[in-house]
């Protein structure tokens, strides 16, 4: 363990406490601060030092981990700290957009900085269940990888500070789409008295099938060529119409299949009807 490194954790909400707890458990000298006092009791009992101001916390750690409610709070705290971050590494694990994460990199007093996105819950921090995405200078990530790995799997994505937020956004976009599809499917089957648990094996099989298509779609998107070799957007539109009908006939909410059909119809109206499904990317690229 790189014992020469010390950690400051700014923010002891649910996530901040989990982060600080993980550092303390592996023996990193850890200093914590929270706006509202009284949240560090357990951490102090386990060996953390608690201080009364964010300036003191930053002064105590060579790695300063910030995990507070939102971007506005991070900005306010960094203003308070002023030049105190000189020679330190700032690791911002507060959820924010890519634009906001890049903005932090341009603030006065911030030189060594990694943006991070936590893909998991506080209970998983410090275990193999936790995944944290990082972006910023590779040299900073590599020099501090050992510390960052204390929190869980640490994945480096690139120099652009916005990348961790963008990957996190891409991940949850996928997650919500899959989950909504599962819920709509469960409602449809439920109309015939089928329990949701009976849908699970079939749902998993369908997710695995669609997952197998991703690399091929990605290749087409990167090349900008969408041969409609297996199924065209026109044929998808027809199948989507059947799903709308099926939903309505069973008294199930049809908004999701209608929205999906509307997107595909727009692509067809744009002249992409004979292309493969990946040509729909142009709809998602357009604001």
**Interface positions with ligand NAP (CB under 6 A):** 11-16, 34-36, 39, 67-70, 73, 94-95, 118, 121-122
Comparing CB distances to ligand NAP, the nearer of 62 and 94 is 94
Instruction: Tell me how far, at minimum, the Cβ of 149 lies from ligand NAP, in Å.
Output: 18
| Alpha carbons 280 and 220: distance in angstroms, whole number | 11
Which residue in the shown chain puts its C-beta closest to ligand NAP?
13
Sign of CA dihedral 270, 174, 142, 89: positive
Three-class secondary structure assignment of 74-102: HHHHHHHHHHHHCCCEEEECCCCCHHHHH
Contact 60, 7 (CB under 8 A): no
Comparing CB distances to ligand NAP, the nearer of 39 and 261 is 39
Contact 64, 10 (CB under 8 A): yes
Comparing CB distances to ligand NAP, the nearer of 73 and 203 is 73
Order of strands across the sheet that contains 89-92: 49-50, 30-33, 7-10, 63-66, 89-92, 112-119, 131-135, 153-156
Instruction: Tell me how far, at minimum, the Cβ of 186 lies from ligand NAP, in Å.
Output: 25
Comparing CB distances to ligand NAP, the nearer of 13 and 158 is 13
Instruction: Tell me how far, at minimum, the Cβ of 161 lies from ligand NAP, in Å.
Output: 16
Instruction: Tell me how far, at minimum, the Cβ of 129 lies from ligand NAP, in Å.
Output: 12
| DSSP-derived 3-state class of residue 199 | helix
List the beta strands (DSSP E) in 102-152. Answer: 112-119, 131-135
Instruction: Tell me how far, at minimum, the Cβ of 256 lies from ligand NAP, in Å.
Output: 26
Instruction: Tell me how far, at minimum, the Cβ of 156 lies from ligand NAP, in Å.
Output: 18
Comparing CB distances to ligand NAP, the nearer of 8 and 186 is 8
Comparing CB distances to ligand NAP, the nearer of 131 and 203 is 131
């Amino acid at each position: 363990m790189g014992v020469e490194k010390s950690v400051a954790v700014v923010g002891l909400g649910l996530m901040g406490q989990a982060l600080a707890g993980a550092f303390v458990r592996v023996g990193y000298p850890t200093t914590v601060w929270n706006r509202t006092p009284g949240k560090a009791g357990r951490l102090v009992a386990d060996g953390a030092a608690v201080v009364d101001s964010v300036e003191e916390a930053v002064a105590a750690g060579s790695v300063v981990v910030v995990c507070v409610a939102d971007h506005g709070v991070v900005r306010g705290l960094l203003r308070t700290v002023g030049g105190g971050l000189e020679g330190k590494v700032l690791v911002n694990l507060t959820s924010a957009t890519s634009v906001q994460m890049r903005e932090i990199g341009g603030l006065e007093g911030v030189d060594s900085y990694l943006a991070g996105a936590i893909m998991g819950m506080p209970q998983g921090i410090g275990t193999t269940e936790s995944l944290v995405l990082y972006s910023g200078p590779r040299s900073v990530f590599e020099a501090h990888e050992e510390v960052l790995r204390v929190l869980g799997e640490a994945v480096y994505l690139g120099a652009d500070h916005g990348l961790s937020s963008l990957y996190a956004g891409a991940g949850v976009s996928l997650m919500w789409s899959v989950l909504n599809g599962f819920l709509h499917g469960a409602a449809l089957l439920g109309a015939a008295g089928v329990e949701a648990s009976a849908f699970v094996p079939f749902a998993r099989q369908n997710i695995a099938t669609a997952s197998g298509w991703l690399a091929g779609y990605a290749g087409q998107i990167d090349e900008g060529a969408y041969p409609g070799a297996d199924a065209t957007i026109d044929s998808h539109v027809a199948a989507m119409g059947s799903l709308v009908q099926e939903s309505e006939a069973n008294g199930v909410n049809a908004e999701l299949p209608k929205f999906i059909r509307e997107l595909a119809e727009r692509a067809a109206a744009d002249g992409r009807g004979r292309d493969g499904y990946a040509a729909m990317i142009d709809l998602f690229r357009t604001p």
